């Protein structure tokens, strides 16, 4: 009996080994034939077991001879962020394949290759298996491909109009003012805020509130303003700001709490299926499940509300995302009057799925960009002064919220504000690996360094954003600021692409009045789908080669919320820096009293310690959970009225 079991085990193991070997041999043959440089690694990076085993496999493997493991250690999880351009530099190529028994992968930091991949949308589709978990409420624009994607994208694109961007601008200014008031404890006469350690959360709140208003017509009030509930009071625009979304009786959580908790626990919700989440005995999972159910209910109520409004033909010129989804699904006043209403072209689940994915895709990305813009500006006082000088020229002493959106927004895009935004997104693009693929049985030609190569069939492709944004073959470079003390151990040794230098975008410092928006190319099919195929940056600023600057990705599957996010961030920069400066908190090194007695040199010394710590945090404590963010700790910042700065260390 025992010998039969042993024999069966041996046979199974042999068959499994044979299968692995055959797959590996097939993948290796395809890589050899491709003409693309390749390296062999033991695991397919997206294999769940491999990902889970990182914790114990990697420490054991580190005991093996370095020559055996060197290459694949360089390519462990999140290497694109951790190692940036260095693996490409060491392999001597900007595009390479990894060969493993499960699947071949192509990594690239080559602008020309990125351009080919992002423009040939049917040759290089999205690998939909990566987005499976985002379907929790229903299929949507992110989780679909081909004709289905076109349908979703066409329906969801109308709200991303200049008219709505105007609303993004006004709502951001209002919420941002409330956020700043909170930092000053409501006393705007104060010259200096307390040290703020909540910036990451504040930025999350701000971006959520702006999406709620501009995306769904739901107005949320900042805690502590206007006698509202601590967690934000929900008002529905269409009902004249008087009623709440949903009926509070039916809910166990407020709308804000449900959304906040859902996003806070998003990894649980995405990884664990709802039926399991419901029954797990942990507090965190219970809360995640309740938030998942509650937010779904709120969205469903909002959907029913908007549907009723649209069916009565009472939506006016409102075109928020939910109205767009209702109308796009074929629900109109006319459709309700016919004898047999036409079938909905989006199911109720798909409508909810899209509502969810817009919040998911739009809130964390924008929030982190805001957070890091402020932190980076605190480390570069000269850039901050330049920004303030540009804002003074643009606003000419008028309060930002009393200025004309249409007049100031192109100027902001073309000024140091646009440069700060571009530079932050170059250094800390929230999406660190843009996924693409080739289909089974569909190898694809690719022009690589002047010769035609072949990307193997069924290949997973990752465009490594941190690497292409630091690729010295694509960007003008200068020498590193301090080679003895690089701001990143691998990436700041022989050029300055690791440094936050918004000035690199300024072509002509005297041309700052040149008002220029990032333009929209006349590509009718693309613009029909809300796809902006033009450069991300204003023509008055430096424009990198196509494919070299991709914080919003490129081509048909690029970010639909690009302009929305840009307008929001520019509004925050304009409002804050026209009145305030941001400073690094030095509380860990000296008290306010001690700083008050310091001379310039002594101040420089404590400030430099704080700057080094922020640099460390922004390298070592960052990681990409869904998007790139600070995984632990907080960056301490202070806001002071302009003219009352304590530190002017590197201002000149």
Which of 430, 443, 456, 544 lies at the binding interface for ligand HEM (CB under 6 A)? Answer: 430
Q: Which two structure tokens, joined as six digits, stand for 601?
A: 């040199």
Between 223 and 435, name the residue whose CB sits nearer to ligand HEM: 435
Which of 135, 153, 411, 469 lies at the binding interface for ligand HEM (CB under 6 A)? Answer: 153
Which of 99, 136, 141, 590 lies at the binding interface for ligand HEM (CB under 6 A)? Answer: 141
Query: Is 453 marked within a binding site?
Result: no
Question: What's the rounded Cα separation, in Å, for the pair 307 and 286?
Answer: 31
Element (H, E) at 377: helix 348-379
* 549 in contact with ligand HEM (CB under 6 A): no
Residues 6 or more apart whose Cβ sits within 8 Å of residue 461? 105, 106, 107, 108, 117, 124, 127, 435, 436, 437, 438, 455
Burial code (b: 16+ CB inside 10 Å, e: under 16) for 456-486 equals bebbbbbbbbbbbbbbeebbeeeebeeeeeb
Here's the x/- map for ligand HEM, 368-387, by CB under 6 A: it reads as -x------------------
Between 291 and 434, name the residue whose CB sits nearer to ligand HEM: 434
Question: What's the rounded Cα separation, in Å, for the pair 286 and 277?
Answer: 7
Distance in Å, CB of 534 to ligand HEM, minimum:
16
Q: Strands 234-236 and 580-584: what pairing?
A: unpaired
Between 144 and 454, name the residue whose CB sits nearer to ligand HEM: 144
Distance in Å, CB of 571 to ligand HEM, minimum:
13
Q: Report whether 353 contacts 140 (CB < 8 A).
A: yes
Between 99 and 569, name the residue whose CB sits nearer to ligand HEM: 569
CB count in 10 Å sphere of residue 241: 9
The residue range among 227-235, 394-402, 558-566, 600-608 that interacts with ligand HEM, by the rule CB under 6 A, is: 558-566
Distance in Å, CB of 153 to ligand HEM, minimum:
5
* 121 in contact with ligand HEM (CB under 6 A): no
Q: Report whether 629 contacts 375 (CB < 8 A).
A: no
Between 353 and 362, name the residue whose CB sits nearer to ligand HEM: 362
Question: What's the rounded Cα separation, in Å, for the pair 561 and 63?
Answer: 46
Between 113 and 586, name the residue whose CB sits nearer to ligand HEM: 113
Between 176 and 357, name the residue whose CB sits nearer to ligand HEM: 357
* 346 in contact with ligand HEM (CB under 6 A): no
Owner of token pair 């042999």? 14
Between 311 and 367, name the residue whose CB sits nearer to ligand HEM: 367
* 211 in contact with ligand HEM (CB under 6 A): yes
Q: Report whether 160 contacts 530 (CB < 8 A).
A: yes
Which of 552, 577, 580, 639 lies at the binding interface for ligand HEM (CB under 6 A)? Answer: 552
The residue range among 23-31, 98-106, 331-339, 552-560 that interacts with ligand HEM, by the rule CB under 6 A, is: 552-560
Question: What's the rounded Cα separation, in Å, for the pair 270 and 99?
Answer: 29
Site residues for ligand HEM, window 351-370 (CB under 6 A)? Answer: 357-358, 361-362, 365-366, 369
Burial code (b: 16+ CB inside 10 Å, e: under 16) for 34-57 equals bebebbebebbbbeeebeeeeeee
Distance in Å, CB of 8 to ligand HEM, minimum:
44
CB count in 10 Å sphere of residue 591: 10
Distance in Å, CB of 435 to ligand HEM, minimum:
6
CB count in 10 Å sphere of residue 33: 12
**Binding residues for ligand HEM, total number by CB under 6 A:** 25
Question: What's the rounded Cα separation, in Å, for the pair 179 and 175?
Answer: 6
Which of 106, 428, 565, 586 lies at the binding interface for ligand HEM (CB under 6 A)? Answer: 565
Question: What's the rounded Cα separation, in Å, for the pair 535 and 528?
Answer: 18
The residue range among 189-197, 430-438, 469-477, 540-548 that interacts with ligand HEM, by the rule CB under 6 A, is: 430-438
Annotated binding site: 559
Annotated binding site for heme: 559
Where on the chain is the footprint of ligand HEM (CB under 6 A)?
A: 141-142, 153, 211, 215, 357-358, 361-362, 365-366, 369, 430-431, 434-435, 551-553, 557, 559-561, 564-565
């Amino acid at each position: 009996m025992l010998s039969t079991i042993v024999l069966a085990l041996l046979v199974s193991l042999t068959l499994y080994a044979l299968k692995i070997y055959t797959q590996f041999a097939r993948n290796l043959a395809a890589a050899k034939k491709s003409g693309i440089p390749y390296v062999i690694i033991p695991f397919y990076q997206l294999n769940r077991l491999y990902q889970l085993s990182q914790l114990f496999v990697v420490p054991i493997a580190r005991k093996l001879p370095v020559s055996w493991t060197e290459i694949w250690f360089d390519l462990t999880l999140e290497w694109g962020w951790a190692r940036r351009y260095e693996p490409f530099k060491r392999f001597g190529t900007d595009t390479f394949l990894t060969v493993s028994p499960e699947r071949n992968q192509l990594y690239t930091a080559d602008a020309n290759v990125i351009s080919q991949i992002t423009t040939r949308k049917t040759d290089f589709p999205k690998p939909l298996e990566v987005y499976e978990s985002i379907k929790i409420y229903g299929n949507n624009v992110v989780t679909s491909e081909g004709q289905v994607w076109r349908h979703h994208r066409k329906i969801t694109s109308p709200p991303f109009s200049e008219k709505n961007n105007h609303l993004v601008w006004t709502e951001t200014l209002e919420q941002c003012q409330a956020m700043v008031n909170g930092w000053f404890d409501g006393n705007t006469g104060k010259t200096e805020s307390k040290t703020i350690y909540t910036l990451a959360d504040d930025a999350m709140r701000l971006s959520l509130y702006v999406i709620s208003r501009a995306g769904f017509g739901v107005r949320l009030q900042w805690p502590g303003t206007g006698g509202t509930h601590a967690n934000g009071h929900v008002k529905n625009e269409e009902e004249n700001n008087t009623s709440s979304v949903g009926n509070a009786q039916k809910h166990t959580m407020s709308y804000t709490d449900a959304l906040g908790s859902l996003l806070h626990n998003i990894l649980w919700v995405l990884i664990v299926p709802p039926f399991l989440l419901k029954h797990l005995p942990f507090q965190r999972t219970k809360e995640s499940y309740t938030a998942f159910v509650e937010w779904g209910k709120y969205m469903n109520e909002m959907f029913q509300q908007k549907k009723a409004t649209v069916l009565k033909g009472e939506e006016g010129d409102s075109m928020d995302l939910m109205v767009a989804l209702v109308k796009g699904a074929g629900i109109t006043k006319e459709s309700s009057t016919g004898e047999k209403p036409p079938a909905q072209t989006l199911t109720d689940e798909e409508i909810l799925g899209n509502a969810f994915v817009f919040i998911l895709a739009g809130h964390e990305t924008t929030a982190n960009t805001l957070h890091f813009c402020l932190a980076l500006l605190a480390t570069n006082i000269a850039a901050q002064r330049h920004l303030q000088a540009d804002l003074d020229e643009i606003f000419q002493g008028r309060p930002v919220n009393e200025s004309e959106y249409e007049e100031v927004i192109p100027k902001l895009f073309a000024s140091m504000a646009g440069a700060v935004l571009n530079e932050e997104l170059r250094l800390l693009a929230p999406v660190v690996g843009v996924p693409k693929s080739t289909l089974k049985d569909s190898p694809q030609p690719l022009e690589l360094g002047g010769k035609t190569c072949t990307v193997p069939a069924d290949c997973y492709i990752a465009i490594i954003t941190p690497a292409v944004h630091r690729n010295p073959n694509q960007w003008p470079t200068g020498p590193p600021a301090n080679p003895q003390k690089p701001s990143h151990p691998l990436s700041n040794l022989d050029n300055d692409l690791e440094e936050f230098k918004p000035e690199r975008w300024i072509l002509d410092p005297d041309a700052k009045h040149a008002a220029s928006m990032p333009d929209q190319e006349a590509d009718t099919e693309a613009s029909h789908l809300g796809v902006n195929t033009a450069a991300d940056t204003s023509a008055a600023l430096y424009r990198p080669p196509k494919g070299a600057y991709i914080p919003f990705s490129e081509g048909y599957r690029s970010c639909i919320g690009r302009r929305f996010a840009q307008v929001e961030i520019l509004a925050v920069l304009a409002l804050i820096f026209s009145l305030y400066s941001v400073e690094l908190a030095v509380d860990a090194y000296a008290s306010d009293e001690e700083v008050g007695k310091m001379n310039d040199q002594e101040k420089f010394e404590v400030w430099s310690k704080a700057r080094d710590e922020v640099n460390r945090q922004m390298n070592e404590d960052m990681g990409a959970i869904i998007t790139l963010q600070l995984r632990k700790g907080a960056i301490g910042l202070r806001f002071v009225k302009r003219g009352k700065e304590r530190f002017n260390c590197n201002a000149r």
